[in-house]
Homo-oligomer: A and B are copies of this chain.
Amino acid sequence: MRWNKISDAVIRRLPLYLRVLDDLANETDVSLISSQELGVKAGVGPALVRKDLAWFGEFGKQGVGYEVGFLRNELRKILNLEQEMAVGLAGVGSLGEALVRYHLKRYDDNDSFNLRLAALFDSDPTKVGSTVEGITIASLEEIPQKVAEEQIQIVILAVPAEGAQDVANRFIRAGVKCILNYAPVKLHVPDTVQVASVDLSLELQRLAYYVPKPAN
């Protein structure tokens, strides 16, 4: 079941709620949470919490709140996190390696993060065949084979800007529908492909807007 018409702004907030519920699930004495409390912990207004969750069903009881374990399971289902999902990463330079070590490693102990780093790719022949965190680096030519073998559904691009579109095209041709792009370039993809971009320069330029201007 998909809810195709739901705005991506809503989808973006679901992992924030899930993170709060994951934390609460480790505290055995908490079984209920109000939309107020969920909102505060997730950094979202309580009315918006209720509105977001209402898109997917009736998860809470008025005046009582949400049952932590139940809502957590529902969010995991909505976000496709019930089953393990294979992730590939292309571009094992300093950024790619850092992403592997800094981020992907930590999810072993997080129940709701069912994404497994399954393959690494690089265009540099001197890197192909070496391993990072136990995963052998494959060449770009091996993309179709690896995507099929490992059933990779999400790829992270940590390649330089100039190579990003070509690498993206290779994954799209191999059937990948979801791309997390760290390269500082806008990717052109078919409507059937979803791209999330992490771009330091765009984030910094946005923050610059909020820098207080000198009074004079």
Q: Which residues from chain A sit less than 8 Å from chain B, CB to CB?
A: 1-2, 8-9, 11-12, 14-16, 18-19, 41-43, 78-81, 85, 87, 93-95, 97-99, 101-104, 106-107, 110, 112-113, 115, 153-154, 156, 158, 161, 177-180, 184, 186, 194, 196, 198, 200-213
Contacts and interface: CB of A to CB of B under 8 A. Distances in A.
B196 A203 contact: yes
Contact of A212 (B14, B101, B177, B184): B177
B198 A203 contact: yes
Contacts of A205: 14-15, 18, 79, 81, 112-113, 115
A106 B8 CA distance: 30
A203 B184 contact: no
A162 B177 CA distance: 33
Given A80-B213, A97-B98, A180 B201 contact: no
Contacts of A210: 11, 177-178, 194
B186 A204 contact: no
A207 B186 contact: no
A207 B194 contact: yes
A93 B154 CA distance: 26
A99 B12 CA distance: 24
B177 A78 contact: no
Contacts of A98: 93-95, 97-99
B202 A106 contact: no
A161 B33 CA distance: 24
Given A97-B98, A207-B178, A212-B177, A201 B113 contact: yes
